[in-house]
């Protein structure tokens, strides 16, 4: 068993102290429970919707480049940790049926968009594992896919792989097929290098299989990411350190460490949730898990791997998943295909059905297989365009301004200041990004920006620290900041036509009027909330009031 480096226990101790400090401040749920911030709004909160409605009015990006995902959901076994809907089958006919339908789905969607072919900035084939397809099936799908999606030029083409499917003669054939279609980057689901842990996870492979797969992948010249999971019940610090050490010895280009998810944020509950429920309830996010994350992060940094994306450590700063950055960071319009696939466009989220029969039925009826989705109002867009880039890597201030028409600090100045005060964020002229400490707690920290309705836990579950009063997101629909102040002055109605003089820093009247048009100014709602929200309103604006004129300026 690997002995821990003498500095690692101290690093873990410090992380635990910071964990408890953030609980006291109200940044982390008082019970220590944890939900990963993967999307905003969370996919499980999306309401029922029809695909035809959700694509109405969509405008292509100016440069024509997309992030594109295809979901190939087949697995041989159900891993205990996985909450993603998948298909447990080795039947070739069942796989052929699925490929037939995902190819038709792409045709339906492209027709709806009026597109013959799309250009990609990044592509990911995920699942399940796409390499559970036979070599012939994989080649068939890639021919169909690349006929519709241009993968040359700037595109990074990535594929998830499972160790047993890329070893031996047949595994090598799969890798050669991927190479021939310009796939350049592979994500290997190693999960752990302890055979005991792999058995508990119900994995299909052992550590020797993983090492053979890594050798074959590197021999063919792919960029390689190794994915690991920490926090399994009973996993010790020494066991986890040994897994990280073995991953480092493999010479991977990237190593990503994922926390074991106990509370699902996907479409099904993994076996781990049921197992823990039978033992008396979900385990809380506790000191042991925080210690493991701190130890893994410190070991990777010490080996020269920088944290390029949250949880991903790379040997080179340019070596990371472009798809994850495009999709998870809201940097590109994302289109996704396959059952349970999630598309994220600048002002809307579109989720395919997690029911395979329903998916097949919709496509047979020449319909998009969408079950849930949402066209985002102004408030959701303000949060989404901040939380997702910040959680994933960093926030480009210019990107936020271009996408929303306002500066992030003008909307979320109080929350940003608090996160900077507690050492979780750092700011430059161009960006906001998590500090090293912030990376450890970024899922929790970004929830300070959430609208109350989308918090993963009841607001009452956060302690009465200095951050609790800030946990309201942007101005809510029906009570924007200006309306709160209007209500205090007893105004019963407000029409944009009465806004004869308005100034907000360098913002034009048209931009502010656009903000007001996007928000409902309900007088009764405003009056109910005015008293408690007036202080935060004045943080953002200074208002001089007369019967026909309002002047607004910064008041920092």
For residues 295 and 461, give the distance between their C-alpha atoms in angstroms, rounded to a whole number. 28
Residue where a domain stops, chosen among 337, 360, 394: 337
Q: What local confidence, expressed as pLDDT, does residue 471 receive?
A: 62
- Note whether 384 and 240 are same-domain residues: no
Q: 């069942």: which residue's tokens? A: 94
- 476 occurs within a structural domain: no
- Note whether 507 and 431 are same-domain residues: no
Q: What local confidence, expressed as pLDDT, does residue 244 receive?
A: 98
- Note whether 88 and 204 are same-domain residues: yes
- Note whether 531 and 425 are same-domain residues: no
Tally Cβ neighbours within 10 Å of residue 510: 10
Q: What local confidence, expressed as pLDDT, does residue 518 receive?
A: 33
Domain span at residue 451?
A: 17-41+376-465
Query: For residue 13, how far is the Cα from the chain centroid?
Result: 28
Helix (H) or strand (E) holding 553: strand 550-553
Q: What local confidence, expressed as pLDDT, does residue 196 receive?
A: 94
- Note whether 306 and 386 are same-domain residues: no
For residues 333 and 62, give the distance between their C-alpha atoms in angstroms, rounded to a whole number. 11
What's the number of domains the chain is made of?
A: 3
- Note whether 458 and 504 are same-domain residues: no
CATH of the domain at 32: 1.10.10.920
CATH of the domain at 87: 3.80.30.20
For residues 331 and 63, give the distance between their C-alpha atoms in angstroms, rounded to a whole number. 12
- 470 occurs within a structural domain: no
Q: What local confidence, expressed as pLDDT, does residue 128 receive?
A: 87
- Note whether 116 and 126 are same-domain residues: yes
Q: What local confidence, expressed as pLDDT, does residue 552 receive?
A: 26
- The pLDDT averaged over each successive group of 10 residues in the chain (556 residues) is 77 95 89 81 90 91 96 86 77 96 97 94 95 98 97 88 96 98 97 94 92 97 97 91 97 95 62 58 67 98 97 96 96 96 96 95 98 95 97 97 96 97 97 97 94 88 66 53 38 30 33 31 32 33 28 24
Q: What local confidence, expressed as pLDDT, does residue 88 receive?
A: 84
Q: What local confidence, expressed as pLDDT, does residue 473 receive?
A: 65
For residues 103 and 174, give the distance between their C-alpha atoms in angstroms, rounded to a whole number. 20
Report CA-CA distances (Å) from 407 to 209, 398, 431, 538.
50, 8, 11, 17
Q: Tens digits of per-residue pLDDT, 401-451? A: 999 999 999 999 999 999 999 999 999 999 999 999 999 999 999 999 999
Q: Supply the pTM of this predicted model.
A: 0.83
- 92 occurs within a structural domain: yes
- Note whether 437 and 329 are same-domain residues: no
Residue where a domain stops, chosen among 289, 320, 337: 337
Q: What local confidence, expressed as pLDDT, does residue 530 receive?
A: 35
- 356 occurs within a structural domain: no
Q: What local confidence, expressed as pLDDT, does residue 276 receive?
A: 62
- Note whether 217 and 161 are same-domain residues: yes
How many CA atoms are closer than 13 Å to the CA of 215, on its beta-carbon side? 9
Residue where a domain stops, chosen among 413, 436, 465: 465
- Note whether 332 and 431 are same-domain residues: no
Q: What local confidence, expressed as pLDDT, does residue 486 receive?
A: 36
366: tokens are 């020449």
Q: Tens digits of per-residue pLDDT, 175-214? A: 999 999 999 999 999 999 999 999 998 888 999 999 999 9
- 96 occurs within a structural domain: yes
Asked whether 159 and 130 are in contact (CB, 8 A), the reply is yes
Q: Tens digits of per-residue pLDDT, 500-538? A: 223 333 333 333 233 322 332 223 333 333 333 333 333
Q: Is the peptide bond before 128 cis (omega within 30 degrees of 0)?
A: yes
Asked whether 345 and 352 are in contact (CB, 8 A), the reply is no
């Amino acid at each position: 068993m690997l002995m821990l480096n003498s500095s690692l226990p101290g690093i873990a101790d410090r992380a635990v102290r910071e964990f408890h400090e953030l609980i006291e401040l109200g940044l982390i749920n008082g019970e220590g429970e944890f939900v990963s911030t993967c999307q905003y709004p969370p996919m499980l909160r999306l309401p029922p919707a029809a695909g035809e409605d959700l694509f109405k009015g969509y405008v292509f990006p100016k440069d024509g480049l997309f992030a594109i995902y295809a979901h190939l959901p087949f697995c041989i076994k159900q891993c205990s940790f996985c909450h993603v809907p998948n298909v447990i089958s080795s039947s070739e006919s069942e796989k052929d049926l699925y490929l037939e339908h995902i190819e038709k789905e792409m045709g339906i969607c492209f027709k709806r968009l009026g597109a013959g072919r799309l250009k990609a900035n990044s592509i990911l084939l995920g699942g399940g594992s796409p390499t559970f397809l036979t070599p012939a099936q994989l080649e068939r799908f890639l021919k169909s896919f690349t006929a519709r999606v241009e993968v040359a030029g700037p595109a990074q083409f990535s594929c998830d792989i499972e160790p047993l499917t890329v070893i031996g003669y047949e595994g090598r054939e799969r890798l050669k097929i991927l190479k021939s279609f310009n796939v350049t980057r592979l994500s290997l689901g190693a999960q752990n290098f302890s055979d005991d842990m792999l058995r508990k996870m119900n994995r299909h492979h052992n550590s020797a299989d993983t090492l053979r797969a890594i050798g074959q992948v590197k021999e063919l010249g792919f960029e390689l990411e190794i994915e690991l999971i920490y926090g399994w019940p009973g996993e010790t610090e020494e066991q986890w350190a040994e897994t990280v050490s073995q991953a480092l010895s493999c010479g991977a280009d990237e190593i990503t460490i994922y926390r074991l998810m106990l509370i699902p944020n996907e479409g099904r509950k993994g076996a781990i949730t049921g197992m823990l429920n039978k033992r008396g309830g979900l385990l809380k996010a506790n000191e042991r898990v925080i210690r493991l994350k701190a130890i893994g992060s410190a070991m990777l940094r010490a080996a020269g791997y920088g944290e390029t994306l949250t949880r991903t450590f790379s040997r080179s700063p340019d070596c990371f998943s472009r798809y994850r950055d495009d999709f998870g960071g809201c940097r590109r319009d994302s289109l996704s295909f396959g059952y349970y696939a999630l598309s994220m466009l600048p002002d809307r989220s579109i989720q395919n059905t997690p029911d395979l029969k329903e998916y097949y039925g919709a496509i047979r009826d020449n319909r998009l297989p969408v079950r849930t989705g949402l066209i985002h109002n102004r408030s959701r867009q303000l949060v989404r365009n901040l939380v997702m880039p910040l959680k994933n890597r960093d926030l480009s201030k210019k990107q936020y301004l271009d996408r929303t028409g306002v500066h992030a600090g003008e909307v979320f100045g109080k929350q940003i200041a608090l996160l900077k005060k507690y050492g979780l964020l750092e700011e430059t002229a161009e960006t906001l990004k998590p500090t090293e400490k912030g990376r450890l707690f970024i899922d929790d920290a970004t929830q300070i920006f959430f609208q109350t309705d989308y918090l993963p836990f009841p607001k009452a579950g956060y302690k009465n620290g200095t951050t609790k009063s800030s946990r309201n997101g942007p101005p809510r629909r029906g009570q924007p900041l200006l309306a709160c102040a209007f209500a205090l002055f007893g105004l019963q109605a407000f029409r944009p036509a009465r806004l004869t003089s308005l100034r907000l820093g360098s913002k034009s009247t048209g931009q502010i009027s656009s903000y007001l048009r996007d928000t409902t100014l309900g007088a009764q709602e405003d009056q109910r909330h005015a008293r408690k929200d007036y202080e935060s309103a004045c943080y953002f604006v200074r208002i001089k009031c007369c019967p026909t004129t309002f002047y607004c300026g910064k008041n920092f």
